[in-house]
A and B are shown apart, each in its own frame.
Chain A
Amino acid sequence: MIRVGPIPRLRRVLPHRWGRAGLVALLVLVLEWSRALVAMQPGLTVGALILGGVALAAVAAGWPAERLGLGTSRFGIRLLGGLALGAVLLLPAAVRAGAAPLLPAGLAVAAVAVSIGEELAFRGALYAALEDAGGARLAIVGTTLLWTLAHALSHPAEFLPAVAAAGLLLALWRWACKDLVAPILGHVIADLAL
């Protein structure tokens, strides 16, 4: 029996894990940018958001639910966490804006699709791939950076710090609670309400 020490094992496994993480990162980024560019075309906004959401969700296909943070244990607490995250995400706007206009009803389905797709892609598959490659710290920082970069085409530069802060909050939740249900629910609530 050949014994493999930690360093040779790391060398053997690392390229594969880094390659997978890089591939997932590239795929997610390309999908988000494509979605943003198509959504800018007249009449294509809703379709681009829905199809983009589905395509992003497909990135998570093949990952075990537990690795994505989609376990069903303590489901009530996960749901409650989602409501709490939704409240946190909306609170600054609610305090300052008061009567901020709501998302038109026609975009609601698109909002749900893209919220779920983004969470499955970023805090789900990408987080898991980066965690496999370099640990939780890389997963948190990496998903936050890519999340921000992915929104660079669809958002003005002055919005990106808030986008990054939201991404960091959701990634930290994913790490701290090993849960993706709450980020999905919080993200859906935030997108629907704004």
Chain B
Amino acid sequence: MKKLALLAVAVIGYSIAAWAVAPGFYDGFGPPQAYNFTCPPPQAGANNKPTSGHLDIKVIDGVSDANSAFTDDGQLVIGFLPGAFEAGARTTVSVDIRPLDTCPQPPGIRLVTNVYLVTANALLKPDKRANLVLRYSNLEPDPATVYQASDPAGPWTAMRSQPGQPFTIETTTTTFGYFAAGYSSSSPAPGAVTVGGGQLLPIVVAVLIVIVVLAGLPLAIMRRRSSSEKDS
């Protein structure tokens, strides 16, 4: 009885603790840190607003240093090669990254990350592409492409992209503007399993409960019978 009570307490404790965080924390499949959503999905739980970033790059003799600008939460990182900017007579080049306050969903595209506006007070040289890395959440389907637009209303252009470290996607760019990662909504999400209208998790849990109840009842009856036979 004591063991059963302790197990029950553990179940309650686990339920409370698991309720407090986003699902998907079991074995390192989740990203190293929770994603900060502009528009959090319902399953995100407690959510911090995404942060912005700023970088001043030194320019010496007209050549800008190699450096990387990133948001404080590391959700967007953009790296620049030495001499990447048309710096002119400037002594520094300023780069700003700002998450958009809204979450546009352009037709035909499903964006799964926040939209970020990356700006600089100098243009990039066409032969010195900047490397842009976007982190994404495990709570949304994996993005297939980084998209870029000069206006959040579009049009959005798919960029040649590749997966980076887990839960990141990379691309290169020679222009600034709005960036976000997503996939074409006309095709299924990459790696997505669509069963039961996307409600597979509740279905799995319901099936498990039904199996446990249906199989548990006969087992309990059999045990009771065998113990009563022993008693008699």
Contacts and interface: CB of A to CB of B under 8 A. Distances in A.
Interface of A: 35-36, 39-42, 45, 49, 76-77, 80, 83-84, 86-107, 111, 114-115, 118, 151, 154-156, 158-159, 161-166, 168-169, 172-173, 175-176, 187, 189-191, 193-194
- CB-CB nearest 8 A-B residue pairs: A93-B23, A97-B43, A154-B28, A104-B191, A176-B3, A92-B18, A165-B17, A87-B208
A61 B3 CA distance: 29
B221 interface: no
A103 B201 CA distance: 11
B208 A175 contact: no
A168 B142 CA distance: 32
Contact of B23 (A36, A189, A194): A194
Given A154-B32, A166-B18, A101 B140 contact: yes
Contacts of B46: 158
A190 B27 CA distance: 10
A83 B28 contact: no
22 contacts: A35-B28, A41-B165, A42-B166, A80-B215, A90-B204, A90-B205, A98-B43, A100-B139, A101-B140, A102-B193, A102-B200, A151-B28, A155-B32, A159-B21, A159-B34, A162-B21, A169-B7, A169-B11, A175-B3, A191-B29, A194-B23, A194-B25
A35 B27 CA distance: 10
A42 B30 CA distance: 14
Contacts of B199: 98-99
Name the prevailing secondary structure of the A interface residues: helix
Interface of B: 3-4, 6-7, 10-11, 13-30, 32-34, 42-43, 45-46, 138-142, 163-166, 189-193, 198-202, 204-205, 208-209, 211-212, 215-216, 219
A98 B33 CA distance: 22
Contacts of B34: 156, 158-159
Contact of A36 (B14, B28, B138): B28
B13 A176 contact: no
A162 B11 contact: no
Contacts of A98: 42-43, 199, 201-202
